[in-house]
A and B are shown apart, each in its own frame.
Chain A
Amino acid sequence: MTDARPLLEVENLEASVAGKPILKGVSLSIRGGEVHALMGPNGSGKSTLSNVLMGHPDYEVTGGAVRLLGEDLLPLAPEERARRGLFLAVQYPVAIPGVTTVQFLKACVEAVRGREATKAAVFLRELRENARLLDLGEPFLNRPINEGFSGGEKKRMEILQMLMLKPRMVVLDETDSGLDIDALKIVARGVQRLIGPEIGVLIITHYERILTHLPPDHVHILVDGRIARSGGPELVRELEERGYDWVREPATAAASEPD
């Protein structure tokens, strides 16, 4: 029997960037073993949600709550959230010149899983094994992280980090964007390796494609900072056929009513 308590709870979350409201009351509840997909048109607030969950300083939370395993995340610094098991595969991975992937991962793993996990032999074995799964050869590990990497290599590097940090709750922010079919399969393989009854996954995406490799249990459609519709996997096909206008219309109609 898995924990009945949700892994991640987002309640009426409101957030703004530079004074402009973006999230206008988002609610989500993700349990261990579940894969959720969050879809929505450009500018609907998908990436804002992922950044707010991780605690990016540019985003101001103006209302609502976020809990991970029952603990309030909002007062915590990003590194504290990571240490409690939250992982965000970012949309635009950042290069850190002169810091090799091994050095980078050592610092991260030590911070999240403790010094024991970075003992040379154990750490390197685990790292090589995971890198092999993602088709990242040895040379990648000794190159400065994300420096001169292709888009696909950067995304695979995100998944490598995820596997090394062993998080409980994973948010993939458009990890599939710009990936060819082979790279997408590799990324999906990496996520599949992590998935289990204890793990929650939130896939933020524009496309159905990744969802055929990582089938979701629940699908949410974000429009203008609110979840306009939630449902099962059938929602994805419906969306493909009818486009976002189909979900947008009722929300727009409701918003314009007071006139």
Chain B
Amino acid sequence: MPSLPNDNRLLRDYEHGFVSAVEEELVPPGLNEEIVRLISRKKNEPDWLLEFRLGALRAWQRKTEPRWALVRYPPIDYQSIRYYAAPKRWTAGEGLDPEIVNTFERLGIPLDERRQLAGVAVDAVFDSVSVATTHQKLLEEHGIVFCSFSEAVQRVPELVRRHLGSVVPPADNFFAALNSAVFSDGSFCYIPPGVKCPVDLSTYFRINAAGTGQFERTLIIADRGSEVSYLEGCTAPMRDENQLHAAVVELVAYEEATIRYSTVQNWYPGDDEGRGGIYNFVTKRGECRGPRSRISWTQVEVGSAITWKYPSCILRGDDSVGEFYSVAFTNRRMQADTGTKMIHIGRRTRSTIVSKGISAGESVNTYRGLVQVLPGAEQARNHSQCDSLLIGNRCSANTFPVVESENRTAIIEHEATTSRISEDQLFYLQSRGVDPETARSLIVNGFCREVFKQLPLEFAVEAVKLLEIKMEGSIG
């Protein structure tokens, strides 16, 4: 394990920044039909999936990279990225490399059956492949399928085929097309009718290899009347280069089903000068396909050099509900352009948006949202609350809410605030014995409370701690 200098301040700040010495199988850099065929072959995929990928590749080649987001970065050379990296011993069927077990151990995720986390089934993704999924037996008893995407293609091909690309079509946008062409692994989950998933499901994404991107694909299907809570965590080593993470997540909720999707995103954000860090260009979308279904996104975004992500809900079923709760914290030179889309199609569909942006350092933090009410969405309702908190005076916050309503019976409310941590608040806490650093983190946690209380308890505790660490030294 290469050691990092102890006096590196970033080490304290980004404790997941280590690199694991795992021998990996890499494909040559570059993106073309041959690479796509190679990836598909390595995964022993059926023809329809290869066709899906090739179609996406052609769409991607016709598209240009979107530039409308309020983020700046030098052009990405897509031909210099490796689109597949997998630990060698694992692919050779020799079991888990102890170094990988170690890696996840250090990240606080034991993969060992006997010591696995209580109450959470974890799918561990290391670079391009899923290396382990815990709690299998319990899940199988309930008829729940929770496995790596590659495995799902073999085990339940019809379910995958019917849903893949049904929420995020392969040609949806530049990065979704890229992902659809080269996606390597990710998690698949199917909850049968009427089943309330007995544990939280979780995927932990780890980028390890240099010069690679991570292009995972997640598909969650909640059948009629079922319920599932899904957690996603991400980290990566500290590297001077930028690494691309272009994931696609699709959720499908049938009649009366509920999906809660929570993310704590802590990809490496780059150093003080803005060198290195992950480009997190992600398409996440859920469809409330059946009546009275519900999809709830909760995200805590504290990492990545650039975040470009809009977890959205298509509210097709009558009386379906979409929710988006977000905390996005940016520091140093980080840039975040994030928000949501709520598309109201069904009658009496309801959506709630709560977005809390916190900017510090020289970062840029943008909320971008769309609330769209289509003609048939009688009595649709939306409430949006977008608050920005500024720390210091070199950062910026922007809010771009767009509302398009084609139905007169819809009720849409939008509230937005921008504030600073006030000197009065700080002095008040200090006069009660609290030091300024603790005071700031208390104020920020209060600001995020509405979002944190949506998270499962352990995740909420984690989020509070993470935010505290991230805020250290953020005051100039």
Co-assembled chains A and B: yes
A interface residues (Cβ-Cβ under 8 A, vs B):
54-58, 77-79, 81-83, 88, 90, 93-94, 96-99, 103-104, 107-108, 111-112, 144, 161, 165
Q: Nearest 4 A-B pairs (CB), nearest first?
A: A98-B446, A98-B449, A99-B446, A111-B433
Known: A57-B423, A94-B424, A107-B438. A78 touches B446 (CB 8 A): no
Assess whether B450 is interfacial by the CB under 8 Å rule: yes
Assess whether B400 is interfacial by the CB under 8 Å rule: no
Contact across chains for B433 and A79 when beta carbons are under 8 A apart: yes
Report B-chain residues with C-beta under 8 Å of the C-beta of A78: 427, 430-431
B394 → chain A closest CB, angstroms = 21
- Whose C-beta in chain B lies nearest to the C-beta of A84? B433
Contact across chains for B447 and A79 when beta carbons are under 8 A apart: no
Report B-chain residues with C-beta under 8 Å of the C-beta of A107: 429, 432, 434, 438, 442
B267 → chain A closest CB, angstroms = 26
- Sample of 19 more A-B contacts, CB < 8 Å, known A93-B428, A98-B445, A107-B429: A57-B423, A78-B427, A78-B430, A79-B433, A79-B436, A82-B432, A94-B422, A97-B446, A98-B447, A98-B450, A99-B445, A99-B446, A99-B449, A104-B429, A108-B429, A108-B434, A111-B432, A111-B438, A112-B433
Complex CA gap A224/B74 in Å reads: 63
- Whose C-beta in chain A lies nearest to the C-beta of B432? A108
B175 → chain A closest CB, angstroms = 34
Report A-chain residues with C-beta under 8 Å of the C-beta of B429: 96, 104, 107-108
Most buried by A among B432, B448, B449: B432
How many B residues face the partner with a CB closer than 8 A?
Answer: 23
- Whose C-beta in chain B lies nearest to the C-beta of A82? B433
A100 → chain B closest CB, angstroms = 8
A259 → chain B closest CB, angstroms = 41
- Whose C-beta in chain A lies nearest to the C-beta of B449? A98
Complex CA gap A97/B425 in Å reads: 10
Contact across chains for B446 and A96 when beta carbons are under 8 A apart: yes
- Whose C-beta in chain A lies nearest to the C-beta of B417? A97
Report B-chain residues with C-beta under 8 Å of the C-beta of A161: 432
Complex CA gap A54/B431 in Å reads: 7
Assess whether B241 is interfacial by the CB under 8 Å rule: no
Report A-chain residues with C-beta under 8 Å of the C-beta of B438: 107, 111
Assess whether B443 is interfacial by the CB under 8 Å rule: yes
Report B-chain residues with C-beta under 8 Å of the C-beta of A94: 422, 424-425, 428
B311 → chain A closest CB, angstroms = 23
Report B-chain residues with C-beta under 8 Å of the C-beta of A54: 427, 431
Complex CA gap A58/B427 in Å reads: 10
Known: A94-B425, A94-B428, A99-B442. A79 touches B449 (CB 8 A): no
B417 → chain A closest CB, angstroms = 10
Contact across chains for A111 and B434 when beta carbons are under 8 A apart: yes
Contact across chains for A82 and B445 when beta carbons are under 8 A apart: no
Assess whether B472 is interfacial by the CB under 8 Å rule: no
Most buried by A among B423, B427, B438, B442: B427
Assess whether B404 is interfacial by the CB under 8 Å rule: no
Contact across chains for A79 and B434 when beta carbons are under 8 A apart: yes
Assess whether B435 is interfacial by the CB under 8 Å rule: yes
Contact across chains for B446 and A112 when beta carbons are under 8 A apart: no
Partner of A79, one of B422, B435, B442, B448: B435
Complex CA gap A104/B450 in Å reads: 17
- Whose C-beta in chain B lies nearest to the C-beta of A108? B432
Report B-chain residues with C-beta under 8 Å of the C-beta of A88: 431
Contact across chains for B435 and A111 when beta carbons are under 8 A apart: yes
A222 → chain B closest CB, angstroms = 21
B145 → chain A closest CB, angstroms = 39
A251 → chain B closest CB, angstroms = 31
